[in-house]
Amino acid sequence: MIISADKIFTGDKWLTDHRIVIENGTITSVENTSSNLSIEKNNFPDCFIAPAFIDIQIYGAYDKLFAVFPEPATLKLMHQYCIAGGAVLHLPTVATNTKEVFIKATDAVREYWNQNGQGVFGLHLEGPWLNKEKRGAHVAELIHAPTVSEVSKLLNYGKGVIKMITIAPEVCSPEIIKLLKSYDIIISAGHSNASFEEAVYAFDHHVDAVTHLFNAMSPLHHREPGMVGAVFAHKKIMASIIADGYHVDFSAIRIAKEIMKERLFVITDAVTETTEGFYKHSLNTDRYECNGTLSGSAINMHQSFLNLVQNAGIETGEALRMCGLYPAQVLRCDKRYGKIAPGYAAQFLVYNKELQLVDVIL
């Protein structure tokens, strides 16, 4: 099959007069339109094609919070929500909760995969090994420093399913962090009151990323730069940010982008209405609150992309990378996702000139 449009954004650059050749779900070539090929062609005039998005932090969709309904049916709904926003992969996320909920969430992902469910890359646990002082909407009673036994049991049970864990590095010993790395867990620092020095040490010793920059972390202060200052100063650490305009002002997103360049990427942090469990999210206009605390967004990845371009002043190609290529790099799947090139998954977004999402090609 051949797909073409007025322009193609490969993840690296913009191309005109090119087309994408696909075989068995994989891109075989990106060729100049002067090439003579006899395969059926799908053309999108007045549009551009871009790599599909990835959301590495989403909690539920369509009135089904995954922590409350840890079932394959919930994961299917979450996948549908993500696809509607252009995200072909996502990490269903469970905030600080009981061990039983983590186990049920792990079982649900395995069962979903066994049913050939699509779109779920793995499980993201946000907590419970966080700092209570920066808990945000997380349940204080369940937050604690981990033991080796606790971590070992959870990781053994969740091996192959749990892909990412958000921790406060100052409450986790070096032994714990090394244990997490031994299971190939992507470690993200968040809900943390770490000092600048503690954060830099963590970034230099096994911590891979930072969860929702600015939110629930020690702020940048001129006498104590905190975790935000450490993120800005570091050369390699990547950080997610929530681009809904409530969690972070759009001007702050623009400032962070100027400093961090390709180290900043987007998550939705999307939740859904629920009256059960620890997190009773209720919709307040166009964001969610739990017990009066901002607790999650009401946007998808497409809306995140639009906000980056239209409200944060970020160039279209770079905004696309923040939603696709950079999350793929964090998940270490950027040899398959985040670009349009031979060997990559044939999963694309079609946008028109008004930045409306015309089609999601799977």
Q: How many CA atoms lie within 13 A of 7 on its CB side?
A: 13
Q: How far apart are the first and last CA of the chain?
A: 12
Maximal CA-CA distance, the chain: 66
Element (H, E) at 166: strand 162-167
Please provide the DSSP assignment of 297-348 as one string: E---HHHHHHHHHHTS---HHHHHHHHTHHHHHHTT-TTTSSS-STTSB--E
- Asked if the bond preceding 128 is cis, omega within 30° of 0, the reply is yes
Catalytic hit among 55, 244, 269, 334: 269
Torsion on CA atoms 317, 323, 324, 325, rounded to nearest 10 = 70
SS3 118: coil
Element (H, E) at 81: helix 72-84
Phi/psi for 169 (5° steps) reads: -60, -25
269 catalytic residue (yes or no) = yes
Handedness of CA 273, 277, 279, 284 (dihedral sign): positive
Asked if residues 237 and 207 have their Cβ atoms less than 8 Å apart, the reply is: yes
Region of 31 please: left (phi>0), alpha (psi -120 to 50) or beta: beta
What is the C-alpha to C-alpha distance for residues 83 and 160, in angstroms, rounded to an integer? Answer: 24
What is the C-alpha to C-alpha distance for residues 228 and 320, in angstroms, rounded to an integer? Answer: 24
Burial of 347 (0-12, 13-18, 19+ CB in 10 A): buried
Q: What is the Cα 257 distance to its own chain's centre?
A: 17
Q: So which residues are the catalytic ones?
A: 269
